[in-house]
Amino acid sequence: METITSDIALEAAFEGAMVENMVNSILAEDPEGIPVPYTLSGGTDNKALSQLGIKGYGFSPLKLPADLDFTALFHGIDERVPVESLKFGARVLDRFLRNV
Rg (CA), the chain: 16
We report the CATH number of the domain holding residue 81 as: 1.10.150.900
| Residue 33 belongs to some domain of the structure | yes
**Structure confidence by residue, pLDDT tens digits, 44-87:** 788 888 889 888 888 889 899 999 988 888 777 878 889 999 99
pLDDT of 74 reads 77
Q: How many residues does the chain have?
A: 100
Three-state secondary-structure class, residue 47: helix
Beta carbons of 27 and 35 less than 8 angstroms apart: yes
| Residue 1 belongs to some domain of the structure | no
Distance CA 64, CA 83 (A): 10
Mean pLDDT of 37-42: 72
- Please count the structural domains in the chain: 1
Q: Quote the pTM value.
A: 0.80
The pLDDT mean for the chain works out to 88
Domain that holds residue 28: 17-98
| Residue 70 belongs to some domain of the structure | yes
